[in-house]
Chains A and B, each alone.
Chain A
């Protein structure tokens, strides 16, 4: 098996994943964090992390050995975000895919730390028919309403990242 570097020319991309932002799911999330402000819970998109975990696994790293360093969310279309994440309707379906956008090392005081940066784009689809049979992606022309950028710190890497096995890119 050949080893390959995950870089711009050969990126690691997750499958498409779905998440139901139903009234019940949003309500349970809101309650679990005791969200008190009006409007949608701003961190709800943390549910859309299956792609991140998929890539961590592809890199051969145990999820228990990564720490969440930083999380950013950008709402590209806030009206759509409100519509999708308010949980008011019977439920929007979120469709998302993650890419490993960067990885680098930093020398700390006692050890060299590895960082993984992942970007997830989230689309909303209102009807199940818009989700392709095999979750091939959103309908053509659909634009993401939000983008998540996650920085992980690897606490106990198994091996240098550039020796990690390359997962199959769908």
Chain B
């Protein structure tokens, strides 16, 4: 059981939420994820790391840049390339 609350959402956000079969679970999962992120940030700051909004933007960009090419790859392409190198070595 939980607490029943009434909230107001922008129309576009509400339209997205209403397509979910379990809207409460959908919203709860998003908020839990946000809570987790906030907990991690607070813990890191408490441990002495300086977290900045500019740094978060830069980190987001680094992740996006690093991950984008992977969408064009076959799964485990790196392992396949590694094993091919082994095959080349042992057959020459």
A, B assembled together: no
B residues contacting A by CB (< 8 A) are: none
- Residues of A at the B interface (CB closer than 8 Å) are none
